[in-house]
Amino acid sequence: MNDFTDEGMGELFIRSGGLGDMLLSLPAAWSRRRRCAWFQWLSTGRYGPWLCGLGFETPRLALDGPAAAAWFSPRSGAEGMSIQPMGTWDRVSRVTSFLRDPEGVLRANLFGDREVGWVTVLPPPQTSGAEPVPAALWLLSQVEVDGPVRSAESLAAWSDAYPLRIPEGWKACGMRHWRELGVSPGAAFIAHPGSGSQRKNLDEAAFFALVEALREAWGLQPVLLMGPAEEERLSPEGRSAYPVAAGLDLCDLTGFLACGPRWVVTHDSGIGHLAGALGLRVVSMFVSTDPRVWAPWFPQCCVVDWGATRSSPELRRMGVAESGRPEGPWLIEARDRSPARVGECLCALPI
């Protein structure tokens, strides 16, 4: 973790977005962290305590804080001088940013005329020709000194990132939530009916048909994991179908999952990436997005591609383990399949 290659280098890593975006960026962050004597991750306020718990130093200010609004406003004359907070980034010699700054406004406002290396990380390309690159591997390749993700350093960064190592207090808090539910995590699976967008979700009837098929096949108790969006979208019948875990902040949620439910069933969501990053077995259902890019890239995960162009009866890996490249998840191509049939395929998984 502290295998730095440049003792004098300081880096500011600017990344926010949804939970999935943050988790997909972890290998890239650890790749840069390993090379620096000083490293800070600048994000929005909700991620500050969570990132600190994962081992990253964060500034006192956040991208969505009131003081940060000035960072994105063009300035001139005397105002064009650096407005970085209290000189805390004087040690920065490089910035890795996931924010577009084509006019250099953010760079000028933070560092004035001082020379600072600035790398803008582009999102994964949406290609219809060549085989798409999984997002976590793409983002890692964007910050790697050697380019493609095939070096020993790349695998070291991946190992630093996953599985997540979290504070014991988070897990203790998670166990309190399980006790309040009256359910043992080892006898349960998580059913998360949402994602960041309604278009990425199965309809409610299909989702609960699959959950019920898995309940019968696995002999496990489903626990609904819901945030405000799911509580608004689900019918009263859906909200009361199984025990419900709701109202968890990000640190509590991480600890809750880290207690070890047998499976997590979700969509293309940050919950799926979080569960996979914790080493849990995950079923991620993809309805409208490309799983070749956005799937949680872990060998103990399975992607159900409801938007596949065909329905294949065979399970297969989405990625073959290569030197310098982690092994990918299992794939079920589920076009025109019933939830019960998909449940049968999931029960055949060798994980």
Residues 6+ apart with CB under 8 A from 104: none
Can you give the pLDDT at residue 166?
A: 96
* CATH number attached to the domain at 168-347: 3.40.50.2000
Residue 128's pLDDT is 57
Q: Which of 297, 268, 331 is nearest to 154 (CA)?
A: 297
For residue 322, what is the DSSP state? Answer: B
Token representation of residue 24: 């997909």
Q: Which strand (E) or helix (H) includes residue 209?
A: helix 204-218
At position 267, the amino acid (one-letter code) is H
CB 327 within 8 A of CB 318: no
pLDDT tens for the chain, 351 residues long, are 333 345 568 999 999 999 999 999 999 999 899 888 899 999 999 999 999 999 999 988 899 988 788 888 886 444 444 455 545 678 899 999 999 888 889 988 888 888 899 999 988 887 655 678 889 988 988 887 655 555 566 777 888 889 999 999 999 999 999 999 999 999 999 999 999 888 999 999 999 999 999 999 999 999 999 988 888 888 989 889 999 999 999 999 999 999 999 999 999 999 999 999 999 999 999 999 999 899 999 999 999 998 777 666 567 888 765 555 678 899 998 877 788 888 888 888 887
The residues, any chain, with a CB within 8 Å of residue 291's CB and separated by 6 or more, are: 268, 284, 303, 305, 318, 331
- The secondary structure of the chain in percent helix, strand, coil, rounded to multiples of 5, reads 40, 20, 45
Q: Which has the closest alpha carbon to 297: 179, 165, 122, 139?
A: 139
User: Domains of the chain: which residue ranges?
Assistant: 6-161, 168-347
Q: How far is CA 110 from CA 13, 84, 257, 290, in A?
A: 13, 5, 38, 36
What distance in Å separates the CA atoms of residue 152 and residue 336, rounded to the nearest whole number? 42
CATH class of the region 6-161: alpha beta
Return phi, psi of residue 189, to 5°: -130, 150
Are 6-161 and 168-347 equal in CATH topology?
A: yes
pLDDT of residue 243: 97
